[in-house]
Structure 1
Amino acid sequence: MVRRPSWAGWHRRDLGTPADRATFTTLHTASQAAPHLRAGLTRDGAVRSVRHLRTLLGTDAVALVDTATTLAWDGSGGHHAPAASGHAQPVLRDGRTLVLGPAEIACDDAACPLRAAVIVPVTSEGQVVGALAAYVPDVGASLVRAAVEVARWVSAQIELAELEASRTRAVEAELRALRAQISPHFVHNSLAAIASFVRTDPERARELLLEFADFTRYAFRRGGEFTTLADEMRNIERYLELEKARFGSRLRVQVLVAPEVLPVVVPFLCVQPLVENAVRHGLEGRSGVGKVSLGAMDDGARAHIWVEDDGAGCDPEVIRRALAGDPAGDSIGLGNVDARLRQVFGDDCGLVVETAPGAGTKVSFRVPKYAPGVRPD
């Protein structure tokens, strides 16, 4: 007879040596504080994290201050909270750890245990942005060392928050740049195509105008770093409907998308610019029919996405410059899309471009079906 392990019994066992248990407790407490500090040194984050910081230090009270005010206080002696910002001013000015004694801390309440404090700077990118203050009856060397380490850990979380904010600003700037690249080409041509139907086929003009409105609503939406492949493909259908109105029978489109990859999350506007390139380079400058193919297929743990045209092709050196971000390049958003794919999923998920003069162009990439932290907005 095989007996199943008793998980309840396992939880009752200790976690090893006292040092092991202390390490586990410290890491667990830090993990509870970290999410609240990842938005930066804000009042809400300070209020939610300060009790965990006090647990880490084991002190009677802990305060978090920024350069202007006391953000949060936890522990006894709450009447000292308004003064914490004043206590921290020398630290905020020179960035040095400060130990205060009864002359600076003691109050008229004989029952108040707070008689001393150690105050440590909290920094971000080399600048003092706040301070951590630990209040106790008496300051020892071990508390100073512990407060310095906890403040360094808080500083690391604040810096990570700033890095995330910088990354978000960079992505938003890239999307604005991409939208600026798309709009001059697409808006003029679409409106011209719609205008051509106003007298001859008003109903068709109305349908195209609605497609144009839906396309621009999606393309110029506020925020949103990621979307699903299904939403991206729906918007590409709108784009192609407008281009077919412009080129008529000269544009042939083939779409092959496996249903199982439609929920895959991709960077916003990562496929449409490739399709726009294919239409431009596949049809413009030629009098005959041009074919554009696009598809997305299951590829194990990844989705394989491609766009291909049978146009004039291109010198590979021109493509290399476009991928490097050369603003003089003729490919709409190619470097932008490549950079965002690599930033989110890694270098092996960047664009692969196959082209040569007279041989058409195929652009493809692979993205994981699931990536931690990547979800549609």
Structure 2
Amino acid sequence: MDILINLFKEIAVFLVVAYLFSKTPVFKLLLTKDFSYSDYLILYIFFTSMAIIGTYFGIPVHGAIANNRVIGAAIAGLIGGPFLGFGVGLTAGIHRYFLGGFTALSCGISTTFEGLMAGLVHSYFVRKGRYERVFDPDVAFFTTLAAEVSQMLIILLISKPTTEAVELVKLIAMPMIASNSVGAALIMSLFRDQRSHFDKIGSSYSRQALRIARRLIGELKKGLHFQSAQKIATIIHEETGVAAVAITDREKILAFVGIGSDHHKAGYEIASSTTKSAIKENKIIFLDGTNDHYICPISEKCKLTSVLVVPIRIKDEVIGTIKLYEQKNKFFFKINEALGKGIAELVANQLLSVRYEYQKNLLTKAELNLIQAQINPHFLFNAINTIIAVSRRDANKARDLLMHLSNYFRKNLKRNQDLSTIRDELNHVNSYLEIEKVRFQDHLKIEIDIDSTLMDIKIPTFTLQPLVENAIKHGISKILEDGIVKIKVFKNNGDVQINIEDNAGTYVEPHESSGLGIQIVDKRIKNLVGEDYGVKINCKSDFETIATVLLPGRGTI
């Protein structure tokens, strides 16, 4: 009974050690089942130390030692697998062997075996996809119980003289089996509870971060300014519960919500040297209020004593800061420190997205203007000459052509959207073709064959116009015989295919400075729906040219 009581006293020491270990950053290694080599090394050192301490704290009994050494090896094996369990068991076993005694060899072998056995239990649960079971106190209890029973058997088999081995086992078997099994279960229970605590904190952080992210969506559509900053600061203040939240650009306060808002005003220039340093040096600054104090540069009566300043970065450029404050005697939770960093990244990503969309819209408008600039001079010159010629012989026809010309340019000027339907594209091209048919008289024929179910598919604006103009300008106008332009829209293996065909076969690959209209159409399609789509031109010399536009079945949206 004395042996049992003393062994349980040693278990109490182990529990204190395990508790202190669970409060260190190293314990976070146990939150994952994928260990690096450095992780294994750290765990090996800790559990080997525990096993060796168990030996030194042991109780001398008949030339042997009743001890809690197995706990270090067993828990190492359960948590880290056979590799770690064997390593800890072997090291602790060799240490025990060199301490001597008639059970030195048997104890050295049994400790190695116990660590390996626990590691095999770990492997079993991993194969079954039940890794969390290795932290189950019941598993730790029965694994250690089986390990200690095996140790007693090994002592009986190896230790000599056998009579002394039998007497020793009678004395130590029950105390060691009971104390070590219960001790391993208690330590594993402590580890499991700490892991659950970390999981709850992580879940709470994730929910809080998701709520903030959900509420922030759309608040930065027009960039970071006084109004959007005020809304963002209010959301962060409500969700984090910190004493105050401030948002700045590089020079002034854009918003301030919470304690101190009576003297920290939106529009004021940044007065804090801490904020200026964070912006200038592009780094996060944390004054925890204990070791480093925040001192308000505006008011001596300010209650704020700690601050986290997180730069808002777009690429490598600091465009402002988010600041979280706490007041005196209020602990600044680490979760809020992590949240502050995450929120700054979220705001930066949204601003980057806004900037990207703005630049994308500018590029789209520039491309549309470039296509318009290419179309208008050529077509206008030819159209005016055609109308002048027609007006001499048919005033009504000339008036119709003027209406078509007016309609064409009116739609041209209004077409500033990125996308339009195939129906709208055809209506626009139709006015162009009516004038060109008169210009070429009977020399030009137009054939249109379109799947009616595809008329409302969205495609980039000015997709058809450059291709149709190219067929006429660089095709039909180059041949003496009658010219035919065919416009076909049909389904092709789930995609939408648009063909602009002419019977001239005079297409020549454009120089870099020419053919911009077709190049822009191809680039815009690829940017919208991917490299598998776009414009391809196939020409059979003096026979036909086919410009193919391939789009996904849903169109470009």
TM-score in terms of structure 1 length? 0.82
SS in 2 for 1:304: strand
* Structure with greater proportional strand content: 1
Q: What residue number does 2:512 align with? A: 327
Does structure 1 conserve the Cα–Cα contact (< 8 Å) formed by 2:478 and 2:504?
no
Answering whether residue 322 of structure 2 is matched by residue 135 of structure 1, we say no
The 3 A distance-change label for structure 1 pair 150 and 307 is same
Q: What residue number does 2:313 align with? A: 123
| 1:104 counterpart (290, 296, 305) | 296
Does structure 2 conserve the Cα–Cα contact (< 8 Å) formed by 1:249 and 1:289?
yes
The 3 A distance-change label for structure 1 pair 104 and 77 is closer
Q: Quick check: 271-280 or 90-99, which moved more?
A: 90-99
Does structure 2 conserve the Cα–Cα contact (< 8 Å) formed by 1:84 and 1:133?
no
Q: Using the alignment, how far apart are the partners of 1:47 and 1:345 within structure 2? A: 37
Q: What residue number does 2:466 align with? A: 273
Does structure 2 conserve the Cα–Cα contact (< 8 Å) formed by 1:34 and 1:49?
no
Does structure 2 conserve the Cα–Cα contact (< 8 Å) formed by 1:265 and 1:369?
no
Deviations 1:83-111 (A, max 9, x none): 574333443333233346452268466xx
Q: Using the alignment, how far apart are the partners of 2:331 and 2:298 within structure 1? A: 13
SS in 1 for 2:352: helix
Q: Using the alignment, how far apart are the partners of 2:204 and 2:455 within structure 1? A: 46
The 3 A distance-change label for structure 1 pair 312 and 371 is closer
- How many residue pairs align between the two structures? 346
Deviations 1:33-70 (A, max 9, x none): 13222443233432333333335544232222223433
Q: Using the alignment, how far apart are the partners of 2:381 and 2:331 within structure 1? A: 71
Does structure 2 conserve the Cα–Cα contact (< 8 Å) formed by 1:281 and 1:312?
no
Q: Quick check: 337-346 or 140-149, which moved more?
A: 140-149
Deviations 1:317-357 (A, max 9, x none): x2xxx4xxx4344x461111111110111111111222132
Q: What residue number does 1:167 align with? A: 360
Q: Using the alignment, how far apart are the partners of 1:123 and 1:300 within structure 2? A: 45
Aligned amino acid, residue 29 of structure 1:
I
Q: What residue number does 2:522 align with? A: 338
Q: 1:186-265 to 2 correspondence within 5 Å?
A: 186-221=379-414, 223-265=416-458
Does structure 2 conserve the Cα–Cα contact (< 8 Å) formed by 1:99 and 1:139?
no
Q: Using the alignment, how far apart are the partners of 1:44 and 1:213 within structure 2? A: 44
Does structure 1 conserve the Cα–Cα contact (< 8 Å) formed by 2:475 and 2:507?
no
Q: Using the alignment, how far apart are the partners of 1:155 and 1:40 within structure 2? A: 10
Q: What residue number does 1:149 align with? A: 342
Q: Using the alignment, how far apart are the partners of 2:207 and 2:235 within structure 1? A: 14
| 2:371 counterpart (174, 178, 181) | 178
The 3 A distance-change label for structure 1 pair 47 and 215 is farther
**Unaligned residue ranges in structure 1 (runs of 5+):** 1-16
Q: Using the alignment, how far apart are the partners of 1:278 and 1:52 within structure 2? A: 57
Q: Using the alignment, how far apart are the partners of 1:179 and 1:58 within structure 2? A: 55
Q: What residue number does 2:15 align with? A: none
Q: Using the alignment, how far apart are the partners of 2:239 and 2:297 within structure 1? A: 22
Q: What residue number does 1:95 align with? A: 282
Q: Quick check: 153-162 or 45-54, which moved more?
A: 45-54
Q: What residue number does 2:224 align with? A: 41
Q: Report percent identity of matched pairs.
A: 24
The 3 A distance-change label for structure 1 pair 127 and 222 is farther
Deviations 1:254-307 (A, max 9, x none): 011222111111111011111111112331122221000002124465322111
- Cα offset, 1:144, TM superposition: 3.8
Q: Which has the larger radius of gyration?
A: 2
Does structure 2 conserve the Cα–Cα contact (< 8 Å) formed by 1:30 and 1:52?
no
Q: What residue number does 2:249 align with? A: 66
SS in 2 for 1:219: helix
TM-score in terms of structure 2 length? 0.57
The answer to which structure, 1 or 2, has the higher relative contact order (CA under 8 A, 6+ apart) is 1
Q: Cα RMSD between the aligned structures?
A: 2.7
